[in-house]
Amino acid sequence: MEHYKKMGEKRGIEWTDSSWNPVTGCTKVSAGCAFCYAERLAKRLQMMNPNGKYRNGFKLTLHEKDIELPLRWKEPKTIFVNSMSDLFHDQVPFSFTKKVFDTMERANWHTFQILTKRPHLMRQFTNEYYKKILPNVWLGTSIENDKVLYRLNELKKVKAAIKFISFEPLIGPVVKVNLKGIHWAIAGGESGPHHRPIKKEWIHEIRKQCRKYGTAFFFKQWGGLTSKSGGRTLDGRIYDEYPEEPLLKVKI
């Protein structure tokens, strides 16, 4: 049975409302990182404001002053956590990550989405360090081709109300991927001056597995020179599916 809902278009990143970056900067771990959009953007922001938040460019930096920022946003939002970094980078102490999770627990009128390319550390954090399962926090991993499918196995061991995968930038096939226990899958091609090609059959295979396992399917983009270059239409339609969230007891 398919447990998902459909929602309208969103601004900026298509599958979220806004972003919150208590950490900025990162280091490359796999082929999907090669032409990182966040790295390009961080360097541009550093040039625009050398003394601002991105004064360190793309060097990993913790921003203690931003930890409680979502508490000031009273209108409910869907928030992508660390669009400019990886909260589960091995240089981010779990003590700092716990502060981020404490804020998300307090700001329970928001929905938070966290993606990592280091799901082994996400698994360790949720199983050994911070054992609460927050119903408004979605935890996911990025998979760009079948060479990093081991991340899926780690994600399945993570404790989370909603688990999701971002197959973006998809630079190779992931055939017959087992999505059992995964609530949401995002798929999309690479964008930017060095974008690598994507094939329709790769997307079809992910959609097929989503249907098999009842996983909500979101097609973000074909990619190209810009994120909008190829549009978002797959076989004549837009796929904007989202997983059903657990019921929240909202306190504002």
Is pLDDT above 70 for 107?
yes
Is pLDDT above 50 for 10?
no
What are 131-146's pLDDT values in tens digits? 999 999 999 999 999 9
How far apart, in whole angstroms, are the C-alpha atoms of residue 218 and residue 207?
9
Average pLDDT over residues 92-104: 98
The mean pLDDT value of the chain amounts to: 93
Query: Minimal CA–CA distance to 184: which of 229, 215, 230?
Result: 215
Is pLDDT above 50 for 9?
no
Q: Write the single-letter amino acid at 89.
A: H
Query: Minimal CA–CA distance to 124: which of 161, 97, 163?
Result: 97
Strand-strand pairing, 241-243 and 23-24: unpaired
Average pLDDT over residues 67-95: 98
Question: Sign of torsion, CA 152 153 154 156?
Answer: positive
Is pLDDT above 70 for 105?
yes
The model's confidence at residue 13, banded by pLDDT at 50, 70 and 90, is confident
How far apart, in whole angstroms, are the C-alpha atoms of residue 109 and residue 113?
13
Is pLDDT above 60 for 3?
no
pTM of the model: 0.92
Average pLDDT over residues 226-232: 94
The model's confidence at residue 11, banded by pLDDT at 50, 70 and 90, is very low
Question: How many CA within 13 A on the CB side of residue 223?
Answer: 21
Of the candidate ranges 4-8, 66-70, 124-128, the one whose mean pLDDT is the lowest: 4-8
What are 164-216's pLDDT values in tens digits? 999 999 999 999 999 999 999 999 999 999 999 999 999 999 999 999 999 99
CB atoms < 10 A from the CB of 130, how many? Answer: 18
Is pLDDT above 70 for 35?
yes
Residue ranges and CATH numbers for the domains of the chain are 4-243 (3.20.20)
Query: Is 52 in contact with 45 (CB distance < 8 Å)?
Result: yes
Token pair for residue 164? 């999701």
CB atoms < 10 A from the CB of 89, how many? Answer: 19
Is pLDDT above 70 for 6?
no
| pLDDT value of residue 55 | 97
| pLDDT value of residue 245 | 72
Query: Is 183 in contact with 162 (CB distance < 8 Å)?
Result: yes
How far apart, in whole angstroms, are the C-alpha atoms of residue 175 and residue 180?
14
| pLDDT value of residue 68 | 98
Is pLDDT above 60 for 7?
no
| pLDDT value of residue 246 | 67
Residue % of the chain over a pLDDT of 70? 92
CB atoms < 10 A from the CB of 204, how many? Answer: 13
